[in-house]
Structure 1
Amino acid sequence: MTYTESVIQAGGTPILISITTDSLVLTDIANRLDGIILIGGGDIHPSYFNESPIEQLGEVDSLRDVYDMALIRLATRRNIPMFGICRGEQLINVAFGGTLYQDIPTQHPDTTVCHQQQEPSSIPTHTVHLTPGSAMASITGQTQLFTNTHHHQAVKQVAPGFSVTGWSSDSIPEAIESSHEYPIWGVQFHPEALATAGDSISARFFYFLVQKAATYRHAKEIHRRILSLDTHTDTPLDFDVSYNIGTREKTQVCLPKMREGKLDGQYLACWVRQGPCDEENSLKAIDRVDELIRHIYRQVEMNGEQCAIARTPDDLSRLKTEGKKAFYIGIENGYGIGKDLKNITRFHDAGVTYITLCHTRNNDICDSSSDTTARWNGLSPYGRKVVKEMNRLGIMIDLSHAAESTFWDVLKYSKAPVIVSHSSASAIYRHDRNLTDEQLRALAAHGGVAQACLVDEFLNPDAKKTNLTDFMKHLLHMVEVAGIDHVGIGSDFDGGGGVKGCNGDNDFINITVRLLEHGFTETDIAKIWGGNFLRVMKQVQTK
């Protein structure tokens, strides 16, 4: 087959997958794949895009439709590089919510191109125009391709999250790609037929996919060897009686998504909204933290065969060896410890390993970066006692949300390194939640670690356009300024985190792929993905 020959020619090893609708078999297959080519074939049943069949609809293989859609879903969840050819491109479009022309001559009657050429597939017969700057133009090095055509269905309305980046002269879409930075591309023509006939430009599609697959495979192999940890999420806010973190939930964090994204451990933060700092409301905040901790333990107890509570760096390593995911507990907003230092001990005994001193408003401990009026000009007298007590107990001090004055006070008074669990780089985008270069250097000099955050509004002035590339700019800058030993990742998933290209635990593998493409070594990646944070945790806990 020309498909397999093209992959072999590009240096890949092709595997043909038999059609099956057995979900367990398909899942096992997907877990082993490094890349996918969805090949040509018969028509797609229009029920998949909410239309009734027209008379001109061709032969439909219902079993294959079910199989292909299931495979696309599994591949997408795992971010497996995926390339669709002809029917494959149409499948991608339909799977993500787009529509098709069921029959071009009938539904696009002003066509000027014969899309079902009589010549052999190895002979090009029409021109495709590619969008300059698109992935397709980058892959081929061209903005026009002279190629073949063998189809009577085609993309009509492009799916949300995708862009048409190639057209024939009669405006029929000929190429699509993810506009959300996911590894998904498709073409309407048949480059495999031209590639095996000696066309070097068509062969570039397969060299591109094989290289993407090799990088993806490398990323998966690295995750098998390293410890990976996301240091901030707000998922406990969703832990109602019907929620089960062991099933695939709508939340960005859950055990199935952790497995798909190759993540070993995750912080679950007990967030409390800042309220009045009187005795009554402080007690309510303490009760809320207690409640959230109970909810976390309930989720873990419900899924004891899959996960456990972790308290130390060694716990993460042990649980990975046991085949389990690790959940660490943090408190977001020191308001939740109330006015009595004894509560810090109580929460420590319950498994809390870091406390974020404040949130978006000043509290009894310190000033917040988001509050427009300073209350303490840094740490309060009580806040200094909190820092001392956290040092004594071996609880990490988290300076995300802290005002710069608070930041400098904590570095002055803390005897242990500190963390910033979910913030990014002010030099890339000025935001009160981000760290200046001066702060990054000081944090590193103090032995601490800054965890780059995935909240869109912290990364780009146009939050709706924020993507993984924007996040990588922040992460790379933080590494450059603070050094490779002082940077990590804290998503803030289920609390505002998530960008195009990384919007859930299952997408974390995309960050590792990007790090590899930027030339980072496995040693570097291990540090970013948890090694640096775990080093600080160990230092803090070694009292």
Structure 2
Amino acid sequence: MRKYFNAALLVTLAFACAPKEQGATIDYTTMSDAERLEVATKMAQETIMVDGHVDLPYRMKVGGFTLQREVLDVSVRTPDGNFDFPRAKEGGLDAPFMSIYIPAGLQQTPGSSKALADSLILMTERLAETFPSQFAMAYSPADVEANFAAGKVSLPMGMENGSALEDDISNVAYFHERGIRYITLTHGKANLIGDSSYDTVRLYNGLSEYGEKVVAEMNRVGIMVDLSHVSDDTFKDALALTKAPVIASHSSVRKFTPGFERNMSDELIQAMAKNGGVMMINFGGTFIDSAYATGADKVREHLINYMAENNLSRRDSAAQAYIAEYSSANNPFPTVQRVADHIDHVKNLVGIDYVGLGSDFDGVGDSLPTGLKDVSMYPNLIAELLKRGYTKEEIEKICYKNVFRVWKAVDDYAASQKG
């Protein structure tokens, strides 16, 4: 960010941040790109920002996280990964849902999925305990608001793959007590709950009988039903059963990736909006542009052949220099504009009230788009939306108000069941 502002920009910023009751109307589309980015950065840092899916806990597990700072200390800037505290503060990220990710392969060993979930929850709690001035747990929108006021990054938790429930319905209440606030019903394979979008085997053609009980129990205890990863039939079954709004914590629009069932069709987007739910856009390259996979494969093939022909490995400085130069010249990555296209599509199809952010940072490898490579870069997306005519109020809905509405509705329904 530039340290010095010209007088005109200071006036622009003053109007942009003025309270609504003063009647200030700002046309962000007329600003220069640099001015708009300054406004977007300030907006990101002054607005609560929720991201529906960040895979930090599994990254910590793979990295051998302990309470020893020298292993993986995300309270300081890290050389790899997409998330740490300094970058989160730069980008205005306040409440990344920590993904308690359970690989589908563990389903073959009873008890192992729940055991991993327990360990990742404990790991997330230890992160907050180890760095209490930077991080804090969050179990409700009110917790996020309090942490935001204190300058802390909240760590709400969502469990990615309902397989951790095993075959015991009482585990739904157990995981709510442990702090889980959404459960992604399936992951890469069908499980006891229902069918997965990634799995060619359809065991139930939707939800299983057990899955129907799981959805009802999630409603009862106050866990958001997350329909990312599920098959279309599982999606429709869950929507037909749920008594509260649902989310898709990290899914994008299928229009831009024809044939990719993991993304949501217009029919499903409209059905989710009718339910009152929110779709949180995934930033991964394969999720936002079908051309990415083809382009990335071509670049990868060329680089493999180049290294083989020149007897080089990726560790060699000559190879690294060539890889950087070639990749830059033949960049296969989509850009931040493509992510904005997905948000545009949802807004134009069903309205601004049903879209949010679900980056999948630390979960989609190096496929992230140019301009959104880590959590410091959310202002680039906000700037692009402002350029397209989005208002400050619409940005706030995307950043947190829409998902807060669903979260509160789920909590309210659960509270009504206790009477």
TM superposition score category, shorter chain reference: 0.7 to 0.9
Match of 1:343, SS state, is helix
Q: 1:445 aligns with which of 264, 267, 274?
A: 274
> For 1:253-272, what aligned pairs fall within 5 Å after superposition?
253-272=83-102
In 1, distance between residues paired with 2:76 and 2:205? 45
Match of 2:400, SS state, is helix
- The 3 A distance-change label for structure 1 pair 209 and 329 is same
Alpha carbons 1:282, 1:339 under 8 Å: kept = no
In 2, distance between residues paired with 1:276 and 1:225? 41
In 1, distance between residues paired with 2:107 and 2:157? 24
Q: Which has the higher helix share?
A: 2
In 1, distance between residues paired with 2:174 and 2:73? 27
Deviation at 1:371, TM superposition (A): 0.6
- The 3 A distance-change label for structure 1 pair 347 and 519 is same
Identity %: 35
Q: 2:247 aligns with which of 419, 429, 446?
A: 419
In 2, distance between residues paired with 1:12 and 1:292? 45
Q: 2:238 aligns with which of 410, 418, 431?
A: 410
Q: Which has the higher contact order (CA 8 A, sep 6+)?
A: 2
> For 1:28-43, what aligned pairs fall within 5 Å after superposition?
none
In 2, distance between residues paired with 1:270 and 1:356? 10
In 2, distance between residues paired with 1:287 and 1:233? 20
Match of 1:244, SS state, is coil
Q: 2:347 aligns with which of 460, 469, 479?
A: 479
- 2:181 paired with 1:353: yes
* TM-score, with structure 2 as normaliser: 0.78
In 2, distance between residues paired with 1:238 and 1:345? 26
Partner amino acid, structure 2, of 1:227: I
Q: Which has the higher strand share?
A: 1
- 2:408 paired with 1:538: yes
In 2, distance between residues paired with 1:444 and 1:255? 33
Give the RMSD, CA atoms, in angstroms: 1.9
Task: State the partner residue of 2:383.
Answer: 513
Q: 2:356 aligns with which of 470, 485, 488?
A: 488
Deviation at 1:214, TM superposition (A): 2.1
- 2:335 paired with 1:467: yes
In 1, distance between residues paired with 2:9 and 2:148? 31
Deviation at 1:224, TM superposition (A): 4.2
Alpha carbons 1:424, 1:453 under 8 Å: kept = yes
Partner amino acid, structure 2, of 1:248: R
- 2:216 paired with 1:379: no
Q: 2:42 aligns with which of 202, 221, 225?
A: 221
Alpha carbons 1:282, 1:336 under 8 Å: kept = no
Task: State the partner residue of 1:522.
Answer: 392
Task: State the partner residue of 1:344.
Answer: 172
Deviates more, 1:256-265 or 1:491-500: 491-500
Give unpaired runs (5+ residues) of structure 2: 11-28, 297-331, 415-419
Match of 2:371, SS state, is coil
Question: Could you give the per-residue CA deviations for residues 69-100 of structure 1, whole angstroms, max 9, x where no partner exists?
Answer: xxxxxxxxxxxxxxxxxxxxxxxxxxxxxxxx
Alpha carbons 1:452, 1:474 under 8 Å: kept = yes
Alpha carbons 1:277, 1:364 under 8 Å: kept = no
Deviation at 1:11, TM superposition (A): 4.4
Deviation at 1:277, TM superposition (A): 4.4
Match of 1:323, SS state, is coil
In 1, distance between residues paired with 2:31 and 2:399? 26
Match of 1:424, SS state, is coil
- The 3 A distance-change label for structure 1 pair 211 and 267 is same
Task: State the partner residue of 1:317.
Answer: 145
> For 1:109-124, what aligned pairs fall within 5 Å after superposition?
none
In 1, distance between residues paired with 2:114 and 2:385? 40
Deviation at 1:276, TM superposition (A): 6.3
In 2, distance between residues paired with 1:461 and 1:306? 38
Deviation at 1:12, TM superposition (A): 5.1
Task: State the partner residue of 1:457.
Answer: 286
In 1, distance between residues paired with 2:350 and 2:247? 13
Q: 1:330 aligns with which of 149, 158, 165?
A: 158
Match of 1:231, SS state, is strand
Alpha carbons 2:45, 2:89 under 8 Å: kept = no
Match of 1:269, SS state, is strand
Alpha carbons 1:452, 1:489 under 8 Å: kept = yes
In 2, distance between residues paired with 1:341 and 1:392? 12
Deviates more, 1:208-217 or 1:370-379: 208-217
Question: Could you give the per-residue CA deviations for residues 282-335 of structure 1, whole angstroms, max 9, x where no partner exists?
Answer: 301100001111111111111101120001011111111111111111100001
- 2:329 paired with 1:501: no
- The 3 A distance-change label for structure 1 pair 523 and 209 is closer
Task: State the partner residue of 2:314.
Answer: none
Alpha carbons 2:232, 2:261 under 8 Å: kept = no
Match of 1:376, SS state, is coil
Question: Could you give the per-residue CA deviations for residues 461-489 of structure 1, whole angstroms, max 9, x where no partner exists?
Answer: 23242221222111211111121000001
Match of 1:339, SS state, is coil
Alpha carbons 2:101, 2:159 under 8 Å: kept = yes
Q: How many residues align?
A: 340
Alpha carbons 1:428, 1:473 under 8 Å: kept = no
Task: State the partner residue of 2:325.
Answer: none
Task: State the partner residue of 1:123.
Answer: none
